[in-house]
Structure 1
Amino acid sequence: MKPLWCFLIVLFVLPVLPHPLHVSEYWITLLNYIGLYSIVALGLVLLTGVGGMTSFGQAAFVGVGAYATAYLTTQFGLSPWLALLVGIALTVLVALVIGAVTMRLSGHFLPLGTIAWGLSLYYLFGNLEALGKYDGINGIPALSVLGISLQSGRSIYYLIWIVVLVAVVSIQNLLNSRPGRAIRSLRGASVMAEAMGVNTAWMRVVIFVYAAVLAAISGFLYAHLQRAVNPTPFGLNHGIEYLFMAVVGGVGHVWGAILGAAILTIVQDYLQSLLPMLLGESGNFEIIVFGILMVALLQYARRGVWPFVARWFPRGPHVQAPEQAEPLPRRAKPAAGEALLVVDGVRKQFGGLVAVNDVSFEVNAGQIVALIGPNGAGKSTTFNLVTGVLQATRGRIHFRGERIDALSSREIVKRGIGRTFQHVKLLPSMTVLENVAIGAHLRGSNGVWRSVARLNAAEEARLMFDAAEQIRRVGLEQHMYDEAGSLALGQQRIMEIARALCCDPTLLLLDEPAAGLRYREKQQLADLLRKLQADGMSVLLVEHDMDFVMNLADRLVVMEFGTRIAQGLPEEVQNDPAVVEAYLGGVE
């Protein structure tokens, strides 16, 4: 990080360099706009690059912040700083309303939705008489800080870049926190996040609002820099440019937002002067060049420019687990033999297809129960009914006496059921420690704003300490700070078990944990499960590998074509004619 801080120091020194190194007003103006655009692009890194939600409408939120301060300061003589607070409050309200609707969309409907509300706000600015219609509002007063008037571009330069720096630090603080790990799981791992207790729908709205607030602050600064506003800078074209900046710099990288804003602003400025000279006529030819550059970038540098620049800088330290911390509270263990999970006549239909046909079984405290059967037997569907991913068509599921078949995944994990997945679900660019810590989401309480202000240090230490303990418990301590995507499949499955243990479960549900593992890895997995059972953990294991579970499980439940065909002790089930028929197709 040291070279980046050196870069910031140089940036803050530029305006006061003596002659002949004096920076001209032209470059100060350009740097001011780079800073304003960077603030918006930083919000898009959080929203699009991290959260996976493409937005073309951020320019409209810039307009909300700009028009709020312009109207309040010119019409009512309100202090610009009070107008900023009102503008932020208005932006939060508008973003909550829009986000509650838009963030439910997915696929191509989401960017289309952002285009729709972005255009709506743009035309609202241009048609309201109170806002001066398309002529806008003039005579906006200059900002004043500690009695110093910021009338010139050079004087407001520092304020703009201080805001940029605060935005960078706040986003980094957020991403390296409990809610930040939840936000990072939104992109491609939302099912896993829900199973760990994350309210993914609310998290989407939260980062949408946060990105909108950053855009509004940029609009506030823009209004007092220009001293006039009109709808033109807040239309769809500028919304697309902001997204271009984030993508060019590296939409998944915080510092990439600043780099992208600098590249596009400088290139656009030069092209606007150069292209008319080369072509002999004026026009928006820079848009054509931008289109060509964007196609080339997406073809050859899909992660943006920042990853190439980052090679020159030493990598910052990973989030570390403390050597000691106050332990997190744990659930009381159930009495041995207590009926933990009772599945009673559960049925699941998909239209005319009966995937699970009136299946019943129990899991008692301290037991390892294996739900086995050939491929397509309905094991994973039954598993998903128990964990709330699917809702049963009929039947009842009770956990420790409470009916849970109508609950969501998020509510079920609160009751003490942790799970893994048939196909490994992890965040490959995050470390093993950070992936496992997602499992402890419900055991923390600090939210977004405490994380942004870094008031969550004590809780973070406890969460990371517990995650490290679970990693050691499953034998992956030597990989604690490795990227999860670099692990072998067997290690990734073990890591998923550590993540589930971080939920502090009473019952552990494992969906085909031995799938794709070699013989030795299966033996190591079996040893781990026996160790967890000795520690008092109850396990429901979904498998199709009968050899793996035969010497591991206390009881077996066998399914075929969605129906339970046998249950009992392993030696009883192994000799059951119906089971032999299901696995071997019958014997002579």
Structure 2
Amino acid sequence: MLKPRAILTLFILILLLSPLLLPTYQITLLNYIGLYALVVLGLVLLTGVGGMTSFGQAAFVGLGAYASAYLTTTEQLPDWLAWAGHSPWLALLVGIALTAVVALILGALTLRLSGHYLPLGTIAWGISLYYLFGTVEQLGGHTGVSNLPVISLFGIALDKGEKMFYLIWAVLLLAIVITQNLLNSREGRAIRALKGGQLMAEAMGVNTFRSKLVIFLISALFAAVSGWLYAHTQRFINPTPFGLSMGIDYLFMALIGGVASVWGALVGAGVLTMLKQWLQDLLPHLLGSDGQYETIIFGLLIIAVMHRSPGGLWPILMRFIPVKLKSRQLLQEDGPAVRLDQRRPPRQGDLILEAQQVTRRFGGLIANNNMSLQVHAGEIVALIGPNGAGKSTMFNQLSAVDTPTSGEVRFLGQSLKGKSSREVAAMGMSRTFQHVKLLPGMTVLENVAIGAHLRGERGVLSAALRLERAEEQSLLQEARYQLQRVGLGDYLYEEAGSLALGQQRILEIARALCADPCLLLLDEPAAGLRFKEKQALAELLQKLRGEGMAILLVEHDMDFVMGLVDRIVVMEFGEKIAEGLPQDIQTNPAVLEAYLGGAE
């Protein structure tokens, strides 16, 4: 069995030898594959990982290409741009800066859209930029710009496709390394949480809009660099390669290769480029030269691939490549198990959370009506009631996921009015969810490490260059500590989606603890747990209470609640009908009637 590193070494060796062994025509195709793969790599981040569909990547390719074409071919540049004239490398810097500014503006305008409005928005600005390239006279109009200068590197003129090949593929491999580094980091976990886990991520302190903007910007910059390379490879550009049809092709490449796979970008670009070329060469001999038969057949083949393998070709290839894959050991097992700094706990008995006359209306429906409760440091409070009583809605008011129609929630003496769940998480409140919210394709360790997001500081650039490894190890060590604390220490590298439901609920508690909270909100934590697991959970919560943590839980298991909590608040039809010690609640007539069905 081959190791992944051996496969990669062999691949790089083949790349190094290709210009020496293959004819010029084949090298030209490989150059196009490398250029396309660089753009598709950005789409893997944006669409496959982040869950945002963009049809406008070709326009960003055009920005990089036209910025360089204008700067390197215009005789009289404005004074403020004269310094960058006639140098492809300086033009690259200007193109990157221009693309970054445009991407930030377009991202701020479109990334807040959801559903079908987001891809429609990308189509709109993609078409606008395409027509801009063909309309501005200084950019050559639809005729284009020719006689772009050759790129020189270390005194060597890259004036042939065989020479540009090395630069194109070196840039692509560097982009792949940067992307993998980013995804395997604190920032990467935040990015990976965008697809299907935004509510959970915000509750753990992740700024999801910022994460969207980050990958939108990175994908735009990858496209701009591809455009710069394309312009100086062709030494001629016009608007045609930067239109909507090419943007659709880039998406097809991502889908065919595997939209969630970094190496799938290369597979998709290669397969689509070669397939198009073969069809264009073969079909005229079979069907005649008239008509766009290759487009028809190409479309049918794409539908077939998507039907047979929705995840793309890369997962299929991985089944047949004899690679010895190990579970990725994220932790340095021989490293010191140093815990992160912890917040100063409140004093025993301090008022931590207070809800005052909280009412939440949804149109004519009143989900919570004048609800009041308090939670103090070092106590466990249960919020119980029949199904539909409004408990989960109340949880959302307390954790700033939702905003009360009237009334007020105060946490650590501060009003939560106007605060987001992310800001509340930073203050020291952490929660689990009624319906488990985790990222099933990520490991148990990585899922829990999301809870420590706010306890790290290193940013995107540090992650891309692997300069944050010490902090990353600290975050992962903290995640492992919390998993061992809750009894899941043997499942670090298992996929979270493979755990039983009860284990997934325990994982959520470990993730919440990883945020180092002073208040823990648990929504039905014992649901799906076996008897011994409930006992272990109760012991853990009692230990946390002894450490001064405040705990508020919603639970239906009365045996679990009665033997654990200090006080109980009972709800019915959105209102509080009783509050007191467990033994008092058990004999309260209103509770017996409403919640226990009048049982003696």
Q: TM-score, normalised on structure 2?
A: 0.95
The answer for unaligned runs of 5 or more in structure 1 is none
Match of 1:430, as an amino acid?
M
Deviation at 1:284, TM superposition (A): 2.9
CA 1:219–1:316 in structure 2 vs 1: closer, same or farther (change >3 Å)? farther
Select which of 285, 297, 308 maps to 1:300: 308
Unpaired stretches in structure 2, ≥5 consecutive residues: 78-84
Residue 253 (str. 1) matches residue 261 (str. 2): yes
| Partner in structure 2 of residue 40 of structure 1 | 39
CA 1:61/1:4 → structure 2, altered by over 3 Å: closer, same or farther?
Answer: farther
- The 2-side partners of 1:116 and 1:86 are apart by 25
The aligned residue for residue 538 of structure 2 is: 526
Give the superposed CA RMSD: 1.3
**Displacement, 1:534?**
2.8
CA distance in 2 between partners of 1:307 and 1:104 (Å): 32
| Aligned with 1:191 (options 182, 192, 199) | 199
TM-score by length of 1: 0.97
Deviations 1:147-195 (A, max 9, x none): 1000000011000000010000000000000110000000000000000
| Residue equivalent to 1:78 | 86
Write out per-residue CA displacement over residues 466-515 of structure 1, whole angstroms, 9 at most, x where no aligned residue.
11111111111001111101111111100100000010000110011122
How far apart, in 1, do the equivalents of 2:181 and 2:455 lie? 19
Equivalent residue for 1:320, pick from 321, 330, 343: 330
Match of 1:278 in 2: 286
Contact 1:41 1:246 in 2 (8 A): yes
CA distance in 2, matches of 1:280, 1:378: 69
Once the two structures are superposed, what CA deviation does each residue of 1:431-471 show, in whole Å capped at 9, x if it has no partner?
Answer: 11100000000011111111101111111111111111111
Instruction: For 1:110 and 1:298, locate their aligned partners in 2 and report how far apart those are by CA, in whole Å.
Output: 22
2:346 counterpart SS class: coil
1:50-129 correspondence runs (5 A): 50-75=49-74, 76=77, 77-129=85-137
1:138 aligns with 2:146: yes
Per-residue displacement from partner, 1:310-367 (whole Å, max 9, x unpaired)? 2322325424223415432111111111111111111111111110000111101100
1:347 matched to 2:362? The reply is: no
Contact 2:86–2:149 (CA under 8 A) maintained in structure 1: no
The answer to whether 1:12 aligns with 2:11 is no
1:395 maps onto 2:407 in alignment? yes
CA distance in 1, matches of 2:329, 2:73: 47
User: Alignment partner of 1:508: what SS?
Assistant: strand
**What residue is the counterpart of 2:393 in the other structure?**
381
Q: Secondary structure at the match of 1:287?
A: helix
Partner of 1:214: 222
Match of 1:30, SS state, is helix
Q: 2:435 aligns with which of 423, 426, 440?
A: 423
Q: Could you say if the C-alpha distance between residues 44 and 4 of structure 1 is closer, same or farther in structure 2, counting changes exceeding 3 Å?
A: farther
Instruction: State the alpha-carbon separation in 2 of the partners of residues 262 and 120 from structure 1.
Output: 29
User: Does the 8 A contact of 2:255 with 2:311 survive in 1?
Assistant: yes
Q: Secondary structure at the match of 1:315?
A: coil
Q: Does the CA contact (< 8 Å) of 2:486 and 2:537 recur in 1?
A: no
Deviation of 1:522 (Å): 2.7
Instruction: State the alpha-carbon separation in 1 of the partners of residues 426 and 389 from structure 2.
Output: 29
Q: Distance between the aligned counterparts of 2:412 and 2:136, measured in 1?
A: 60
**What's the % identity of the aligned pairs?**
60
State how far apart, in whole Å, the 1-side matches of 2:485 and 2:331 are. 15
Deviates more, 1:99-108 or 1:562-571: 99-108
User: Residue in 1 aligned with 2:178?
Assistant: 170
- Contact conserved, 1:372 with 1:545, CA < 8 A, in 2? no
Separation in structure 2 between the aligned mates of residue 325 and residue 215 of structure 1, nearest angstrom? 41
Aligned to 1:575: 587
What is the aligned partner in structure 2 of residue 266 from structure 1? 274
| Residues 385 and 405 in structure 1, CA contact (< 8 A), matched pair in contact too | no
Aligned residue for 1:546? 558
